[in-house]
Structure 1
Amino acid sequence: MTIAAIRISDRMPSAALRRFAWGVLAYFIATILWGTIVRATGSGAGCGDHWPLCNGTVIQQSPTLQTIIEFTHRITAGLDLIFIVGLLIWTWRRTVQGHLARWAAGSALFLTVTEAILGALLVKLGLTAGSRSPLRPPFEALHLSNTLLLVATLAATAHFLGRRIGYRWRDVHITAPVGTTIGMLSIMIVGVTGSLAALGDTLFPATSLSESLKQDFAEKSNWLLRWRWTHPTIAILASIFLIWLLIRAVRRSGPWDNRGLSALVVGLLVLQYVLGALDVYLLAPIWMQVVHLLGADLLWSALVVLTMRMTLLPAHTR
C-alpha cells in the first residue's frame, strides 16, 4: 500500500461527521421556517432597527411577543454560523486535498456570512414587519436566493462526505452542465416567486378566496398581488426540468441507485402542488406557509443531491 493510499484511508469522513453534516442542514431548515414565522407575524421589527443587538441591548426587559420571536430567530441564526464553522473545520481535518466536501463547506460558510449581511440590511433599512417599501421585494428575493444556495451547499457537503468514489475534483467528470444549470436556476426562480407571493399575502391579506382572486386582476392592486400568477406558472414550467432529470436518473446505470431518491423527489413534488393549492384555498395562514416552505426545502435538498449524483460522476464511468 502506498503512502498516498494510507493517507487517504486515514482521512475518510467518519459516520459522526456525516451525521453532523445532515444535522446542520436540518437545523438550518428549521431556522428558515422560524424566519417565515418572523415575517408572517410581522415580528421583523421586534428588535427595532438594531442589529446584531436587540433594541440596543442583549438582555431584554419585559419583551413583547414580537421581540421574543425576532430575538429567538437571531439566536438560532447565530448558532448556524457556529455549526457551519465547526462543519468546515471538521470536514477540512477529515478529508483529503481536493475533496468536493471542502469546496461545498467553504461555500456554505461564505453564504452564511452573506446571509447575515442581507438580514442585517433588511433590519437597518426598515424592510421588515409591515413595510411596503419598493426596496423590500428585491431585497427579499436576494435574501431567499442566498438562502437556497446555502441549503444547496449544505446538502452537497453532506452528500460528498458520504461518497466513497468520485469525491475529489480530479476523480469526477461533469455531464449535462448547461441543462442542469438552467434547470436548477428555474427551480430557484420558483422559490423566489413563491416568497414574493407569500410577502404579498402578508402585506395585503384577503378575507375570502374570491377577494384574493380579484386582487390578482385588479388594476389598483399592488404588483406583488398582480404577479402572484408567476409562481404557479413557473413551477409548472420548471417541472419539465424535473421530468428530464428524473428520466435520466432512472435510465442511467451508474455507481448509485437513484430510483429511491427519484421516487422521493416525485413524492415531494406532488406534495408541493397539493400544499400550494391548499395555501391558496386557505388564504395562506401562517401554519400553512410554514408547512409549504418545509416541503419546498425538503424538495430542494433532495433535488440538489440527485443533481450532484447525475452531474458529478466518477471519472471511471465515462
Structure 2
Amino acid sequence: MKWLKTTAVAACLGMLLVLLGGALVTKTESGMGCGKSWPLCHGQLIPSEIDTALIIELSHRVISGGVGLMVLLLSILAWKMVGHVREVKFLSFLAFFFLLMQGLIGAAAVKWGQSDFVLAMHFGISLVSFSAVLLLTIIIFEIDRKFDAQSLWIKKDFRIQIYMLTLYTLGVVYSGALVRHTYSSMACLNWPFCSNASPLDFASYGLGQWIQMGHRFAASIVVIWTLLIFKKAWKEYRHSSVMTIGWGIGSGLLILQVILGALVIVSYVHLGLALLHALVISLYVGLLSYFLLLSSRSSKNEKRTKKP
C-alpha cells in the first residue's frame, strides 16, 4: 500500500508539472521548438542545433511521456489493489485516457497544425486528467484513514450548484486558454476594463479584446459564485470542516487568481506570474473535482436510503 501511495503522489505532482509545462510552451511560443517533427526533434533523437524554444518543447514532451507512464502504472495498480472502491476503475480509465488524448492533440498540432480554438482545449483536457489522478490519490489515502467527509451528506440543491459551477468553470478555463492561444493576453492594456478611461467603448473592440474581456467577465462570475457557495457552506454545514475549509480555500484561490490576473496585465505578461495563474486555477479545479466526488457519493447514499 505504501508503494501505491508513493506512486499516486508522484503522479499527482507530475501532472502539475505537465500542466505548467504546457502553459510554459504556450507562453514562450515554443510549440514549434522541434519543428514539425514528433516525437523526434527536427527528425533527430539528439538535435544538433539547440535553442531555448527547443529545450522547452522537448522537456515538455519528455516530462509528459514520463508522467504518462507513471499515470498508467498508477491506474493499473489502483485497479488491482483498490478496484473494489466504487470510483477507482472509472477514475483510472479517465486519468490515462485524457492524458493520452492531450498528448495526441499536441502531436497533431505539431504535425499538421490546429486552430486556436482546438488548441485551447489542450489545457482543459490535461486538467481533467489531473483531477482524476488527484481523486485517485485522495481515495487511496482515504482507505486507512477516515476523514469527516466519509459521513458528509450534501443536499441536492447544493450538489446541483457544484455540478453547474464545475461545468461553467471548465468553460472559463477554456476561455483563458483561448486568450493565450490567440495571443490576446495584452489585447487590453488596462485592468479591470479594457480601457479604464472609457470602459463602455465596445464599438472599437477587436477580436482579441472581446476574447480578453469575455474571459474577465466570465471569471468574475466564478469568483462571485464561489463566494456565495462558501457563504452557504458556512451557514448550512458549519459542523463539517471539509465543507467550510474546502470552500474557504476555494474562495482564497480565486481571490489570488484575480490578483494574479491583474498583475499579469500590469507586468506585461511576466512569465512567472502567468505560470502561477495557471497553477492556481489548476488547484481550484482539483478542489472542485473533490466536491464532485463527495456529491456523487451523497447522491448514491440518498438513492439507497429511499429504496423500500
TM-score by length of 1: 0.79
The one-character-per-residue Cα deviations of 1:63-87 (angstroms, maximum 9, x if unpaired) are 2221111111110110121011110
Equivalence map 1:302-317=2 (5 Å): 302-313=287-298, 315=301
Residues 1:55 and 1:219: Cα distance change in structure 2 (over 3 Å): farther
Instruction: Kindly indicate whether residue 130 of structure 2 is the aligned counterpart of residue 151 of structure 1.
Output: yes
Identity %, equivalent residues:
20
Q: Does 1:140 align with 2:119?
A: yes
The question of 1:300 aligning with 2:279 is answered: no
| SS state at 1:108 partner | helix
Candidates 25, 35, 39, aligned match of 1:48: 35
Aligned residue in 2 for 1:3: none
Identify which range, 180-189 or 246-255, moves more after superposition.
246-255
Mean Cα displacement is larger for which, 308-317 or 38-47?
308-317
Q: CA deviation at 1:98?
A: 5.0
Q: How far off its partner does 1:175 sit?
A: 4.3
Which runs of 5 or more residues in structure 2 are unaligned? 148-152
Aligned-pair Cα RMSD in Å: 3.2
- Pair 59,151 (structure 1): closer, same or farther in 2 beyond 3 Å: same
Aligned pair partner of 1:238 in 213, 222, 242: 222
Instruction: Give the partner amino acid of 1:301.
Output: G
158 and 175 in structure 1: CA distance in 2 versus 1, 3 angstrom threshold = farther
1:19: Cα distance to partner? 4.1
User: What is the Cα deviation at residue 36 of structure 1?
Assistant: 1.6
Identify if the C-alpha distance between structure 1 residues 48 and 235 changes in structure 2 by more than 3 Å, giving closer, same or farther: same
Q: Secondary structure at the match of 1:47?
A: coil
What does 1:53-92 align with in structure 2 at a 5 Å threshold? 53-92=40-79
Please state whether the residue corresponding to 1:184 is helix, strand or coil.
helix
Q: Provide the residue aligned with 1:225 in structure 2.
A: 209
Contact 1:21 1:87 in 2 (8 A): yes
> Aligned pairs, how many?
290
- 1:199 is aligned to 181
- 1:35–1:257 CA distance, 2 compared to 1 (3 A): closer
Q: Which amino acid aligns with 1:237?
A: I
Q: Secondary structure, in 3 states, of the residue corresponding to 1:162? A: helix
- Segments ≥4 residues shifted beyond 6 Å: 216-221, 253-256
Distance in structure 2 (CA, Å) of the matches to 1:30 and 1:221: 36
Q: How far has the Cα of 1:315 moved from its partner?
A: 2.6
Q: Take 2:97 and 2:208, find their aligned partners in 1: how far apart are those partners?
A: 30
Residue 253 (structure 2) aligns with: 268
TM-score by length of 2: 0.81
Alpha carbons of structure 1 residues 241 and 160: separation in structure 2 relative to 1, 3 Å:
farther
Aligned to 1:24: 11
1:237 to 1:60, Cα distance in 2 relative to 1, 3 A: same
Structure 1: unaligned runs, 5 residues or longer: 1-13, 128-134, 167-171
Within 2, Cα distance between the matches of 1:249 and 1:204? 34
Q: Displacement, 1:99?
A: 3.0
* 2:101 counterpart SS class: helix
What is the one-letter code of the residue matched to 1:155?
L
Please show how residues 278-293 of structure 1 align to structure 2 within 5 Å.
278-293=263-278
Q: Is the 8 A contact 2:34 2:41 kept in 1?
A: yes
173 and 277 in structure 1: CA distance in 2 versus 1, 3 angstrom threshold: closer
